[in-house]
Structure 1
Amino acid sequence: MNFEHFIKKEMEPQDYDILLPYFKMRYSHTCENILVSNFMWKDYYHTHYIRDDHGLIWLMEVDDQPVTMVPVCAKEDLKHYFDVAEAYFNEVLHSKLTVCLADKEAVELLDLDHEKYDILTVRDYYDYVYDAEKLRTFSGKAYHKKKNHLNAFKKAYEGRYEYRSLSCGCHHDEIMAFLRKWEAQRDLEDPFHRDEYELNGIDYLLSNCGYLDYKMGGIYIDGELQAFSLGVYGKVEKMAVIHVEKANPDIRGLYPMICQQFLCHEFPDAELVNREDDMGLEGLRKSKMSYNPIYLEEKYEIRQK
């Protein structure tokens, strides 16, 4: 296959406005369909891309092996760009095609031959999707515990806390200082060091906010930042995608507080909330389930045999 007409390059912040239209060609409810997320994790996956006028193909690495995600294009072009990706992997990278984090609709649209491809569901990377209004109100029996924690926080810190919308220009250093402190408090054990890459990715977003589009907010107690969230809103899907949510783990009720307030102030029109996956971490899975998702967005891995 001739790839001469494709543009190949590493992701850079100034590419945002060029790449964003591709993400409007087909809407999926996975967090991978949000361009900001791909910028945030670009160093973790060593992300590059090739593109022409009608489709975008990711070039990434996992464990030093080339992988990709579902091509970003219109539904009717998906099979074509899947074939382009496969040819690029086979002919240029001299590797079999591996597609990570494929959404269910894409798998159904591709309708691949199981004699030629292994298609595996990956539970660790299912996204958790919630009713936005429930998270803005925590109403109903299912949210009784969350409401109790929230009320305990409000009572304990009455007159001492406030929510603030944040901007990267004014709050970059403050946010990163809070996140580094949060990281030290949590003492996370992740053999893949995703927490370290996540914080570096947030720093990258903050450093390049002039090019990128996202919302941020925080809870302050006695004037000090104690909880932080960052997300993006998809108008067509009416879905808020929460890429980052961190809070002082020693303060009861602070996590539901930042969850609620961030949605109320930054995404009041959202009907759905995607709070991303749990990465297979037991504690994170328990936490995400405690917010009562209305469904899990399935994801798959496609491997060329």
Structure 2
Amino acid sequence: MDPLEFKPILPSSREEVTSFTLQSHSRICDLAFANLFGWAVKYETCYAIADDTLFIRFTSPARSHPAYLIPIMRGGGCVDASLDRLKNEAELGNYPLVIMGITPRCREHLEWVLPGAFTFLEDEGNADYIYLRERLVSLSGKSLQSKRNHVNKFEKLYPNYSYEPMTKANSAECLAVEQEWLRQHGTEEGEDKEQEVIQRLFDHFDELGLSGGILRVDGRVVAFTLGSPINEMTFGVHIEKADRDYEGSYTMINKLFASTIPEQYVYVNREEDLGLEGLRKAKLSYKPETILPKIVAVLRHDPDKEN
């Protein structure tokens, strides 16, 4: 079997890659093209297409060899033939096969296809928080009363607020908010890369099909957010930053941006909590429709080679 021919993720790759991902049933944030391109600065993300299947490879700082996202066959679904392709890649490179981004349903399929072949690893910090778009807009129900209160208080405290769509032209102002966010929170491991990712997304805003929103108070940017489609029913929010000195700014930018997301997107994926308690509490406070685990599968052995 010939090795896969991987090439780097570039803005010009968008149409080719999204012809698979937008049709996929998978709602994981990793498959948003903007994430694939943006985080390529950290993970050296590459892709290959073979047998009408999209393969995505990256290198994590946590390991010395490549890993792969679960392959995406055109039209969606977990695929059996692609496993042979990935096993061949690992054998040629003499490294263990690691497949990431596996949902519980896909895990069941892998266990059925290759019983006992994989060790499955799950980290709740990597799970995606998925919400109903309509609820993020309306904030309806008793469980979201506190969010409605935050919006009302913001409107009362800052009557001169305004909201506008993000464009490449006004995105530069948002970097100042990012710097303020880092000042308030402190710089942690990996946040230098996040700044690089944000700049990368801004530089290619239109090419990546991004949309975003900017919240101003008295003309000053106090919050911004950025997102893009994951599949035909799920929209991803990749970046959201706000100045906490403006009370309710996070809730306000969340609601206003959600109201601009086209109605075809029933779900909004607001990504992982990264195991950070404060972030987890914030994401839970919006009452997610689903917390979607993303499981890692490590091939323990090749059943075809057993005696």
Please indicate, yes or no, whether the TM-score normalized by the shorter chain is above 0.5.
yes
1:295 shift after superposition: 1.6
What is the alpha-carbon distance in structure 1 between the residues aligned to residue 271 and residue 207 of structure 2?
23
Q: In structure 2, how many angstroms separate the alpha carbons of the residues matched to 1:67 and 1:269?
A: 33
What is the Cα deviation at residue 196 of structure 1? 2.3
Deviations along 1:181-206, one digit per CA (max 9) or x if unpaired, are: 222222143x4x1x222221121111
What is the TM-score normalised by the length of structure 2? 0.90
- 1:259 corresponds, among 246, 250, 254, to 254
Q: Which amino acid aligns with 2:123?
A: V
Partner of 2:53: 55
* 2:211 alignment counterpart: 215
Give the 3 Å change call, closer, same or farther, for CA 32–252 of structure 1 in structure 2.
same
Which residue does the alignment assign to 2:67? 67
Deviation at 1:113, TM superposition (A): 3.1
Q: CA deviation at 1:265?
A: 2.4
Once the 2 structures are TM-superposed, how far is the Cα of residue 114 of structure 1 from its aligned partner? 4.5
8 Å CA contact retained: 2:11, 2:204: yes
Residue correspondence of structure 1 range 75-114 to structure 2 within 5 A? 75=76, 78-91=79-92, 93-110=93-110, 111-114=112-115
For residue 276 of structure 1, report the CA deviation from its aligned partner: 0.8
Task: Measure, in 2, the Cα distance between the counterparts of 1:77 and 1:126.
Answer: 19
Contact preservation (8 Å) 2:25, 2:231: no
CA contact (8 A) 1:59 1:67 kept: yes
Equivalent residues in 2 for 1:1-305 (5 A)?
Answer: 1-3=1-3, 6-52=4-50, 54-62=52-60, 63=62, 64-74=64-74, 75=76, 78-91=79-92, 93-110=93-110, 111-158=112-159, 160-168=160-168, 170-189=169-188, 191=189, 193=190, 195-233=191-229, 236-237=232-233, 239-305=234-300
Unaligned 5+ runs, structure 2: 301-307
2:131 alignment partner, SS class: strand
* Alpha-carbon distance in 1 for matches of 2:5, 2:91: 18
Compute the displacement of 1:234 (Å): 5.3
Which structure 1 residue ranges, 5 or more long, are not aligned? none
SS of residue in 2 equivalent to 1:128? strand
Provide the rounded CA distance (Å) in 2 between the counterparts of 1:77 and 1:51. 15
Cα distance in 1 for partners of 2:243, 2:224 equals: 9
Aligned length, in residue pairs: 296
Judge which range, 218-227 or 109-118, deviates more.
109-118
Q: TM-score, normalised by structure 1?
A: 0.90
Against the structure 1 CA distance between its residues 249 and 77, is the aligned structure 2 distance closer, same or farther, given a 3 Å change threshold?
closer
**Partner SS state of residue 43, structure 1:** helix
Q: Which amino acid aligns with 1:141?
A: K
Q: 2:303 — aligned with what? A: none
- Relative distance call for 1:11 and 1:270 in structure 2 (3 A) is closer
- Using the alignment, how far apart are the partners of 1:100 and 1:269 within structure 2? 28
Does the aligned pair in 2 maintain the 1:164–1:219 contact within 8 Å? yes
Separation in structure 2 between the aligned mates of residue 285 and residue 250 of structure 1, nearest angstrom: 21
In structure 2, give the amino acid aligned to 1:275: R
Q: Distance in 2 between matches of 1:284 and 1:137?
A: 22
Q: Which AA in structure 1 matches 2:167?
A: S
Task: Please tell me the residue identity of whatever aligns with 2:5.
Answer: I
The secondary structure found in structure 2 opposite 1:68 is: strand
Q: Secondary structure at the match of 2:79?
A: helix
Provide the identity percentage. 27
